[in-house]
Structure 1
Amino acid sequence: MKTALVQSVWQADPRDNLPHVLQMIDQACRERRPDIVCLPEFFLGPAWYMPGQGHLRGVTDTTLDSPVFEQLAAMARRHRVYMVCGSVVEQMADGRYCNTSVLLDRDGVAIGQANKIHPFANEAVSCVAGDEMSVHETEFGPIGIAVCSDFWIPETIRILALKGATTIFLPGGSLRQNLAAMINAFRSTAYLSAVNMVYCGPVGKITGVRGNTSITVEFAGTSLIATPQGLLAQAPPDAAAVLEATLSNEAILELRAANAADDTWKGLGLRQPQSYGALTEDYVGLNRDLAAEISLRMRQTTPSANAH
């Protein structure tokens, strides 16, 4: 499975982000002939609920039947590629929002989606959390999709691997201050769950006010591709880039296969699920209502902060 990641840069005018991404997809497909393309989280630009971005409501969010997805589907058909359509702030039929990734096949048909299960920061009160971890069958084997902060909850990737996913795509946004931890955790996750990992993030920075405090949010690219054997490719933190690697479904299945004569670490095969009941219980130290605290900070934001 030849994979291409399109790491885009937020444009000064958010309305230019989709044309920028489409041009990058077109060029990557013509020059590299991938089987599957992955876009970043928030490829349309900053979410309206980020600090100081209230004016982008209706600009960087969209419905799943919008011209945004019509154009992405047309690109998938034109180049005969699968496409993990990054993630968008989906405006749902009931007026609520969700951070959503859509999977298109070579015909541009939506064959699956993933809704972020673990909303982060302002998302915790602005978006509906997903509740399903789905694996999607493709000609390259089963693939999973997780969205950004879902990665930081280890159960997400592990469950997708246990459901049979041999490659997991992760549209996300790496905060600059988290890069070192992200790279280390990414490599470790691929190894511990015996799975190919594909992460694609945007490059961009916004500044606003939250709770009367100035906040800067900087997404620092650094898209990554890893197998259980190690890191295959890494994009820069501050520029547009196309990252490419060929991944093997068969290699993962072979690694996971039980073999009494093989003393290679095989974490999935050694699991003892009957001992893991505590994983479904609340965190013992969770004695704060984080959603309420975030809501309070958002209400304290001065009206002018969302006007810039």
Structure 2
Amino acid sequence: MRASLIQIAVDDAESVVSRRRRVAGLVREQSDSDLVVLPELWPVGAFAYEQFETEAEPLDGPTYDALSKAARDAGVWLHAGSIVERAGDGRLYNTALVISPAGELAATYRKIHRFGFDEGEAVLMSAGDSLTTVELPEQTLGLATCYDLRFPELFRGLIDSGATTLVVSAGWPERRRAHWTLLSRARAVEEQAYVLACGTAGTHAGVQQAGHSLVVDPWGEVVAEAGPGEQVLTVDLDPRKVAETREQFPALKDRMLGIRPARG
């Protein structure tokens, strides 16, 4: 399976409408890939808190409309990053969208762990309450968003739900870039799964972004890493490697805590 991570530069001077159009064009250029991944809150910027209310949109809003057409034109599965979703009850969520090659909305994931320590996203957004996996022809994706990366129990729940590739869409700040790499590798090692960690470049409301999107294999080895600027990172994944890794080093079979009760 060929995956392309589009590390979008979010510039405060670029309008949401212009960025949406530009990103749709970048998605269309990835027709040789099977899966395309975008970062967290790229239309508005993960730290642009003052714009969350004005730029909030429904699931079938302008971002979905533009990217569903792009996914269909390219014939790819598209993790469209996340948007500021306005739910029917008026609440806001940081919601990831997965779009099929037919342009249909295949899955959504509302971010569970909100960043901000009682400020910013943590008070402006409501928390999601369920895990999301998506069945692709060769892989099962488990979805996570940015700050979720710091909570290993979420990822253990995803592999218990069948995930073999963990997709992390993020707007991760440069000042904590070392954590970004460390935690992405740790989640891959713990879950013996691929990790596709796609972040943004540029600046969100004055917060410099880390860039350095990366793909980590089930042994925790970084197989591809982007630089600090806007870039498309493309890598071929071996769907057999997850099962092979878990068979060669069956650590997951030795779990003693947090094991799901047997069905009987």
Length-normalised TM-score, structure 2 = 0.90
Distance (Å, rounded) in 1 between the aligned partners of 2:185 and 2:130: 24
Q: How many residues align?
A: 254
- Is 1:272 aligned with 2:262? no
- Which residue does the alignment assign to 1:112? 107
- Which residue does the alignment assign to 1:197? 195
Q: Is the 8 A contact 1:4 1:38 kept in 2?
A: yes
Query: In the superposition, relative to structure 1, how do residues 56 and 149 fare at CA in structure 2: closer, same or farther (>3 Å)?
Result: closer
Q: What is the Cα deviation at residue 84 of structure 1?
A: 0.3
The code of the aligned residue for 1:36 comes to L
- Which residue does the alignment assign to 2:27? 25
Q: What is the Cα deviation at residue 217 of structure 1?
A: 2.0
Q: Is the 8 A contact 1:43 1:202 kept in 2?
A: yes
Residue identity over aligned pairs, in percent, reads 29
Distance (Å, rounded) in 2 between the aligned partners of 1:130 and 1:22: 27
Q: How does 1:4-83 map to 2 (within 5 A)?
A: 4-11=4-11, 12-15=13-16, 16-29=18-31, 33-47=32-46, 50=47, 53-55=49-51, 57-59=53-55, 61-83=56-78
Q: What is the Cα deviation at residue 171 of structure 1?
A: 0.6
Q: What is the Cα deviation at residue 71 of structure 1?
A: 1.4
- Is 1:87 aligned with 2:87? no
Distance (Å, rounded) in 2 between the aligned partners of 1:206 and 1:186: 22
- Which residue does the alignment assign to 1:283? none
Distance (Å, rounded) in 2 between the aligned partners of 1:104 and 1:275: 32
1:229-258 residue CA offsets vs partner (Å, 9 max, x unmatched): 300111112x1100011112221122223x
Query: In the superposition, relative to structure 1, how do residues 88 and 274 fare at CA in structure 2: closer, same or farther (>3 Å)?
Result: closer
Q: Is the 8 A contact 1:35 1:82 kept in 2?
A: yes
Q: What is the Cα deviation at residue 55 of structure 1?
A: 4.9
Q: How does 1:217-236 map to 2 (within 5 A)?
A: 217-229=207-219, 230-236=221-227
Unmatched runs of 5 consecutive residues or more in structure 2: none
Pick from 256, 267, 271 the counterpart of residue 246 of structure 2.
256
Q: Is the 8 A contact 2:201 2:210 kept in 1?
A: yes
Unmatched runs of 5 consecutive residues or more in structure 1: 208-215, 277-308
Q: What is the Cα deviation at residue 13 of structure 1?
A: 2.5
1:130-166 residue CA offsets vs partner (Å, 9 max, x unmatched): 1111222111131111111111111111211122100
Q: What is the Cα deviation at residue 46 of structure 1?
A: 2.1
SS at match of 1:58: helix
Q: Report the more deviating stretch, 246-255 or 130-139.
A: 246-255
Q: What is the Cα deviation at residue 274 of structure 1?
A: 6.0
Distance (Å, rounded) in 2 between the aligned partners of 1:135 and 1:274: 19
Query: In the superposition, relative to structure 1, how do residues 55 and 124 fare at CA in structure 2: closer, same or farther (>3 Å)?
Result: closer
RMSD: 1.9
Q: What is the Cα deviation at residue 28 of structure 1?
A: 3.0
Q: Is the 8 A contact 2:82 2:169 kept in 1?
A: yes
Distance (Å, rounded) in 2 between the aligned partners of 1:138 and 1:146: 16
The code of the aligned residue for 2:230 comes to A
The code of the aligned residue for 2:62 comes to P
SS at match of 1:57: helix
Q: How does 1:228-247 map to 2 (within 5 A)?
A: 228-229=218-219, 230-237=221-228, 239-247=229-237
Runs of 4+ in 1 over 4 A off after TM superposition: none
Q: Is the 8 A contact 2:84 2:93 kept in 1?
A: yes
